[in-house]
Structure 1
Amino acid sequence: KEAVRDPVQFMCGHRSCKQCVSSDCDQNLKIKSCLFTGDKPLRKTKELLKNAMQKKLTLTSEGNGDAESSLRSIYTALFITTGESEGPNEEHTFRHIKRKLKKQSYDYSINLSDIFRPLHGPEKPHRTVLTKGVAGIGKSFAVQKFILDWAEEEENLDIDLVFCLSFRKLNLITDEKSLHRLLTEFHPVLCDLKDSEDYVKAKVLVILDGLDESRLQLDFENNEVVTSVSKVTSLNNLLTNLIQGNLLPNANLWITSRPAAANQIPAEYVDMVTEIRGFSDPQKEEYFKKRFSQDSRLADRIISHIRSSQTLDIMCHIPIFCWISALLFQEVFQGDEKSEIPQTLTEMMAHFLFAQTKRRSRKYDEKSEKSKENLLKTHRDFLLKLSKLAFVQLQKNNLIFYEEDLEECGIDIKEASVYSGFCNTVLREEEVFSQRKVFFFVHLTMQEFFAALFVYECLTNNNTTELGDFLDLKDKEHTLLDLVKKTVDKVLEKKNGHLDWFLRFLLGLMVEPNQRVLRGLLTSPDQSKDTDKKVLTYLKSIRRKTLSPDSCINLFQTMVEMRDHKVKDEIQEYLKSSDRSKTDLTPMHCSALAYMLEVSKNDLDVLDLKSYNTSDEGRRRLIPAVRSSRKAILADCRVTAEWVEHLAVALKFSCSALNDLDLSNNDLRDSGVKLLCDGLSSQSCRLETLRYEDVFTELIRLLEKRRSDVKQQIRSQQETEVSRVKELQQKLEADFLQYLCQVTLDPNTANNYLVLSKGNRSITCNDKYKPYPEHPDRFSDVTQVLSKDGLTGRCYWEVEMSGYVTTAVAYKSISRSGDFNTDVFGYNDKSWVLHCSNCCTFIHNKISAPISGLPSCRLGVYLDHSAGILSFYSVSETMTLLHRVQTTFTEPLYVGLGLLVNGDTAELCQLE
């Protein structure tokens, strides 16, 4: 389009747009030939790859395999932000999604197509972007949309090649291979790229999709360094070197992951973190209106029902839940008018399971069972095998499975194929390398529901053999109540909410209405024993201090799944009351109150814990509500270090409303102060006022103690570190020496008080004026000099110094006006300088930064012009980094030296 509107024409007659040409020029590539006729293999490969991607991605399915739709027609834009949300990291703390979307003003939102572009002005583009998001939020869908936009030349026209490597496929690779071979296995059209230089010439984007699905152990410390795309090595070496930038250093890298798995990538290798936060309320409604564009009344009815349910309203900020809701409520609202409308998530999943089983039977069975119970009995064997698969893999934290995993649970692959219609809406199947297949539930929550079905059936039938390892059972005989209690206790031991939804589904299945929906599939327990009521009593009695406040909220939500609304109703009445001080609140009431405040549309102005008539345990359970309060008063509340651990989470939570915290008259001890400081030091902390009179005394005492501990630790580590330092030192020196350049100074730029010698490599400051010939390049007012030749690419040189010496790089266009304030190195935007004498100071554009390290008499300088990197090192027996600059250089750089007083000297060293 740009080539037609504003073309650049080559000698051969082909046209291109100025954007593409200028992009190549920006990367210091000389355009020797037409972009169309030059580099024919690359050009051909680019076209073939785009065609292949269009063919693969133009049509897609949301999960229902019956029909594919245009990706563009069903794709709804997602809310994507820069920066990560520290704080609660449970995969299923969906109430936080609502808060993140409500607090959009705190973050910088970006378009999907712009994730590699600088946020502010002429910054260096990001090499590696890590995109996080909970399961089902739309990470892989976003990847597909990005690639399709590129392939159809709608966005990112400057990118030549896009390679997408999914971890669910990478898991199947066991043999060693080169990066080129790996890429051709994923994208066969790359076979024409025989030369490794083809990858260097092209602008490449590599996408690593689904890090959370990886079964690989990425080792960044003990990996072998690999720099060639032709080098045959292990998959671990290929991936870690790609992420570290040793392989394809000029390529862009995009990694997607669930939050819990994202920390596998060291922060030093990530330039920017983005987060997909799902649908906002308008985007959510847009989704249903798009899906039911032919039936607007149905779309409005579904939207209205979702709004009426707090749980569904929150869950449907996740795109996959919008899809599940669409399938289910289309069946419900277009079916029998008397059919029960699901309210809880357990009810929703139970109805969804039945609806999909009925749908499968109508389509594939010659005689479809009309009785709900008989229909589920007919398919019971397969559904329970599928449930076992879900449970076994959930314990391993696996989201994807392979044929051998299905076979271990008694599922024959042919049997799975027979159920393909059902599987497409519950368990999906993809074909990968060499006819191998990969399976996965449409969402983690679906897997947890099926896992709950399996455990429920084992518990009600006292089948402890299948659960022996999970529950650590020793005796063979147990009552159903005992087994349920043991399961609750086991789940509460888990961190980060790993099995929270599994527990909610499991106990939700114990109530009669859900058993009625799935009668024929599940065994009904003896109702006369009132097991469900006894389980509710047990949940209310739990008072463990080791249980986090967020886990306590999950217990409350579990009670709601069991259709016990008493606590919820009491808190709703409490919130309406004008005189709350007389109402006693149990710890469970406080968990319910914390939940209500978190999902409220409005933040609380003041949360005063002492104003609530409850126990210390009840106040502890209110801590999550701090995230939804502008001011939190915890004074005189006997706050302990254990409380502060949860409070620090609120401080780190970027979407928290908290800006004023009062901790007066509490004894936090050393451990509490340390945790508090950890929260305060987070970049996400938005606290403006902290009241705690003992914080400074305790902090000083803590720091003194830590200093003593650190000294002892340093002494014990020094001996082992010496050999490691020497090894790294030798490697560092060898790395730099390969970029060694011999620099000479230009006499025509030297100030008249500078004397050049040693083949124009050395200068001395003299108090006698030297009558050099007049020259426009000469510095007339400052005692400095530039090199003869400009530098691009990667270069390294060293300077021997005596006295006060400035070492700089500068554009040739630096001023020689005779005005000190514009000519001197560092006092303009055309030069970068390090001043060295007894200490060091870095200056650029009149902005100075003192350097903490002490210089030796020799300074090493490393320049990577295209990457915008400039580093200064103190060189002695070791090399110590003094200062590093990351910017964008727009012209060749010249080495600059400056001296201050008579007798100062500087010499460009001759190295071998």
Structure 2
Amino acid sequence: MDTDLIPVGRGASAHGTESGGEEEDDMMWDRDLDLPDTCDVERAASPAPSYLSMESGTMDFSGSNPDPDDLTTRIELERPDSCVSSIYSLESDEDVEKEMKPELRVRKKAKVIPYNAAKPELAIDPNQKRHPALTVKFTFKFLEQVLKKLSESHLKFFKKYLWERYPEFFRDPLDGLDILDLVDKMLECCDIELALKITTHVVQYMGQKKLVEYITGHLQRNEVRYALRQQLKQQYSTIYEGCPKQGGSADFESVYTEHHMTVGMYAPPNNEHELRGAVQELKVEPRYNYKPLKNTELYVSSLEEQKYLRLLVMKGVAGSGKSAAAQRYILDWVAETAHEHIYFVFPLSGARMLPTLDTDTTFHALLTALFPCVAELTDLEFEDCQVLFIMDEVDELVYELDFLYTHCWCDMNTTVSTRLLLINLIKGNLLHSSYLWMVIRALASCELPNDRISQVVEVRGFAEEAREVYFRKRHSNDPALAERMVKYLRANNTLFIMCHLPLFCWVVSTVLQKVFQKFPPGQEPPSTITEMYTRLVQVYFNKRERRRSQCDAVAKKWEDDRVLLMKMGKVAYTMLEKEIFQMVTSHWKEDEIDPQQVIVHCGLVTEYYREKYILYQEKLRCFIHPTVQEYMAALYVFLSYKNSGKNVMDTSKMAMIKLRDTSLTDLYKYAIEKAVHPKASAKHHYDLFLRFLVGLGAESNQGILGSFINHVGCKASATEDAARLIRKKIKDNPDLKKCLEELFPLEGQGKQ
């Protein structure tokens, strides 16, 4: 046999020899030669570039530059006469397109060198542990992405070179495999690290410098992403319902229930009412198609193809579950159960950044302070690495940002003020390819530049089925208690309607858990509502106090809680007297109410838009629910009596000049007369108002009011007188029976 010129390729396989030959791409293959496991390569003299003449990396099988006398094997290129360079002399990504099909010839000598020295990319440190971010799932998808970036001719050469250089892994030719099968074959025959190293080596050999940078950059970002997920998992696995307190957190998965969300900015607050049916002023416009939206559908590819989405604004009344919806998104991304098209998720707290607005820093340093793992990255804008920022608690922050008279800034590595960085992040000048999701209340969203908002999503709390699911999940360790709560709420329709607010669900769950301890199964507690609403208002003002403490750095003057409560109560009572549920501008001016105080800081009032005429949007404001307005009106009447001795329902001249003392019995008498008046009684206009008013007379409810009331307690005679008056009027209005339960909240229904 002539050993001077033997074709390389299949004959070099260490899996055995095969006879026969075939012609492929002008190369003659012969498996009659049984080659040793290694070979040294020396470039044959040639006027044209050869394998070793590439700028991007030489194919040095020995891993060194051996002396010519020590060479055991020589590869020569025998090419047809041509003035065109070979595909193996790549200097750019386009040169491979000019494929010239050289023939390889091998001359064998007797000397053999170690195999591992010929392929340094196969060297693996046995003491080095695999990074936990390097999973089979990631590697498969990543290799698929890399190979898809190759042109058809590049991919063809990749398969051929892979098979020729690594016969110990690939016994059969790879030409017939598509990308998915090729990646599957690589991971089947090689370890994860080897598959990545081999891919990097081959791509580098082909002169794909940008693709090599893409591979190394993605592998680094994958490790950063793993560390980020671990940090977010630790931070967001628990949730504080209501007001945060030490030891008051709950496991997020044990309480989270899917929220009802819609696309658009014209959604009014819930207008369901137990006695009124539905408040027509707050009805949903039938011409608006409130498209429901799931949490997993935010920033999905199908929406992106139809419309460019960058700034998403999520609105909703206070307590509707906006922050919980964002937390659900974060945890789904951490668990890799959804949102796989998002590479990095960075939650930014507006409350935390508010005190640092005038501090000079870089955006990279700002992120590193919150997420130390990001320190390794110098740039967040990278191919196929979509970044999402979620900004929560920004209601007070946006009032400190001037979006009109602030200059453009695009550099994340230069020191400027935090204020400038945030303004340009929101406007899209800084990291313009990133996504931004802002969780904000209605009035505060008006401060954002309208031309930068891509989509508005309204969180509307719990749907009817989700309300029951919440109680069953929260009390999954005691199913009997959960079912008892659901049954209690179903019998008390006002509470069940109000449970569309997740915050109110938490209040009801907390209260009933204690109430049921006093009433064993078989003995049902009274169907009271006053305590629930009183505790809800208390929670809103506690949250307001927490917001005030966070805003001390910006030195804004916040109105006293008692003054603000009485102003809102007065507006609520005036609206109830006029039988309206939408606030008008005169109400704000007469009582000098700052909308920012009651909508943004407190949250008991909300704002929404209605398209009154073509191209004209009417701004409307109302309480977060009609029953909240009725409660606030009753609270205003009761506190006016307790703190000032006035009966605001008595509009006679003698009452105005204070020539007549007012007793609690008189107060109740006025309210009962209003409720049983034929005109009001037919509409149930004052029924809930009366329930709340007599319920506030109970000492247990007065104790919850805290600093809002001067002294707690009422004469027993006043309570008995009120009960006697109600019993007399029940025949005129049977719904007044429930007022007796409010008067005696700690007694069973039988005793009442």
Q: TM-score, normalised by structure 1?
A: 0.40
More strand by share: 1
Q: TM-score, normalised by structure 2?
A: 0.48
**Relative contact order, CA 8 A, sep 6+: which one is greater?**
2
- Higher radius of gyration, 1 or 2: 2
